[in-house]
Amino acid sequence: MAEKAPSIRWKLILAVGIPAVLVYAFILVIGTYGLRTRAIERLKDNATRMASIYAARFDAEFTRLSTIARLTATTLQTSDSDPEEEVRRLLCRNLSEDLLIDESCLIRRSRSGRLQEICVVESDDGSCTDGEAMQGPPLDTSKPAPDGIWSRGFARDADLERLAIWHAISAEAVDGSLVWLTLGLRLNRFEERFGPLEVGTGEFGIFRSDGSYVYDRRPEFVLEKTVPLLAIEHDRPDIARLGEELLSGRAGVSRFDDDDEGVIWIFYAPIAVTDWIFATHIKESEVLAFANAQLRRGIVITVIGTVLILASLLWITRRITRPLSSLSSAVARLSKGDLSVRVPENTSKDEIGRLGRACHRMVADLKAHVDTLAREVAHREAFERELRVARRIQMSLLPRRFPPFPEHDEFDIHALSRPAMMVGGDFYDYFMLSERHLAFVIADVSGKGVPAALYMAVARTAIRDLSLECDSPAELIV
1: confidence class by pLDDT, cuts 50, 70, 90: very low
DSSP secondary structure, 409-458, as one string: -S---------SSSSEEEEEEEEESSSS-EEEEEEEEEEEHHHHHHHHHH
393: confidence class by pLDDT, cuts 50, 70, 90: confident
Would you put residue 148 in left (φ > 0), alpha (ψ -120 to 50) or beta? left
Residues of the chain with pLDDT > 90: what percent? 1
Does the reported pTM lie above 0.75? no
Q: What is the pLDDT of residues 321-368, one digit of tens each?
A: 777 677 777 777 777 777 677 766 666 666 667 777 777 777 777 778
Nearest to 108 by CA among 188, 63, 175, 61: 175
Q: What is the pLDDT of residues 231-267, one digit of tens each?
A: 888 888 888 888 888 888 888 888 888 877 788 888 8
Neighbours of 104 (CB within 10 A): 29
CA distance 216 to 367: 97
